[in-house]
């Protein structure tokens, strides 16, 4: 079975070589934007898990921007993590009722201006989690860009009782990012329940979701760099 790094390289190369990747460039080293991201977002918005959701935690990456915009326009409050969870108030609350520009607000460059920084204790239970992926397989095993922040964010929410085993996890990707088999997941890896591409909606058969922060899997410097981890640990 291939390792995560080889899967990432293969998918990033494919997105570049087949000219599927879209701005920002290069596609390597990121959750890559792709042709058809808006169509994938439309599919996601048709899901009962997102249709009428009150609160959704969403990743900040470019391919999920169309979905974040659609969620806000549907009246859903969107929560985005601050970069690298680097602040004690580690989420940005985007409440569409108080935002004047719903297109600008969910962009990385403007979320801080339109949103309110909040700690996890200020969040409600979230109805769904939207994640970006480099690759995902039919069992819901997700390969991210390799930094682990998406899994940490889920772990933080779980520690505060804001997500559980039944919280649906959704990703939008291009069809070429859906692979036959990824890797055996680590226990801190968050599985994906629903994959939306420009042409398909795939309901997976995922494994168990993380029950919180797995401290033994964290690098020792993470607790020093991420205030909320230090707070949870104490």
CATH topology assigned to domain 4-233: Rossmann fold (3.40.50)
Span 197-225, pLDDT tens digits:
999 999 999 999 999 999 988 887 888 88
Q: Is 56 within 8 Å of 67 (Cβ atoms)?
A: no
All structural domains of the chain with their residue ranges: 4-233
Give the residues across from 92 on adjacent strands: 80, 117
On the CB side of 115, how many CA atoms lie within 13 Å of its CA?
27
Residues contacting residue 194 through CB under 8 Å, at least 6 positions apart: 44, 47, 49, 168, 169, 170, 171, 201, 202, 203, 204
Span 22-37, pLDDT tens digits:
999 999 999 999 999 9
The pLDDT score that the predictor gives to residue 49 is 98
- Please, is 54 exposed, middle or buried when counting C-beta atoms within 10 Å of its C-beta (0-12, 13-18, 19+)? exposed
Q: Which of 167, 152, 168, 165 is nearest to 232 (CA)?
A: 152
Span 154-164, pLDDT tens digits:
999 999 999 99
The pLDDT score that the predictor gives to residue 211 is 96
Q: Is 86 within 8 Å of 223 (Cβ atoms)?
A: no
Q: What confidence tier does 2 reach under pLDDT thresholds 50, 70, 90?
A: confident
Q: Is the pLDDT of residue 181 over 90?
A: no
Q: Among residues of the chain, what percentage have pLDDT more than 90? A: 89
Q: How many residues does the chain have?
A: 234
Q: Is the pLDDT of residue 85 over 80?
A: yes
Residues contacting residue 16 through CB under 8 Å, at least 6 positions apart: 26, 27, 28
């Amino acid at each position: 079975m291939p390792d995560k790094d080889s899967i990432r390289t293969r998918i990033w190369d494919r997105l570049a070589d087949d000219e599927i990747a879209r701005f920002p460039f290069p596609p390597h080293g990121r959750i890559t934007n792709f042709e058809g991201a808006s169509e994938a977002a439309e599919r996601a918005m048709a899901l009962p898990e997102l249709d009428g959701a009150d609160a959704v935690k969403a990743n900040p990456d470019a391919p999920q921007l169309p979905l974040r915009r659609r969620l806000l326009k549907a009246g859903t409050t969107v929560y985005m993590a601050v970069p690298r969870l680097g602040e004690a108030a580690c989420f940005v609350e985007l409440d569409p009722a108080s935002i004047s520009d719903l297109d600008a607000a969910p962009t990385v460059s403007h979320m801080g201006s339109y949103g309110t920084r909040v700690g996890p204790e200020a969040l409600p239970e979230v109805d769904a989690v939207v994640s970006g992926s480099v690759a995902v397989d039919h069992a819901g095993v997700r390969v991210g860009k390799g930094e682990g922040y998406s899994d940490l964010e889920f772990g933080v929410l779980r520690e505060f009782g804001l997500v559980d085993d039944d919280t649906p996890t959704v990703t939008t990707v291009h069809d070429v990012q859906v692979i036959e088999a990824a890797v055996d997941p680590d226990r801190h890896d968050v599985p994906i329940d629903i994959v939306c591409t420009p042409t398909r909606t795939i309901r997976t058969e995922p494994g168990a979701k993380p029950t919180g922060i797995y401290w033994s899997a964290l690098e020792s410097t993470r607790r020093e760099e991420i205030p909320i981890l230090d707070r949870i640990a104490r």
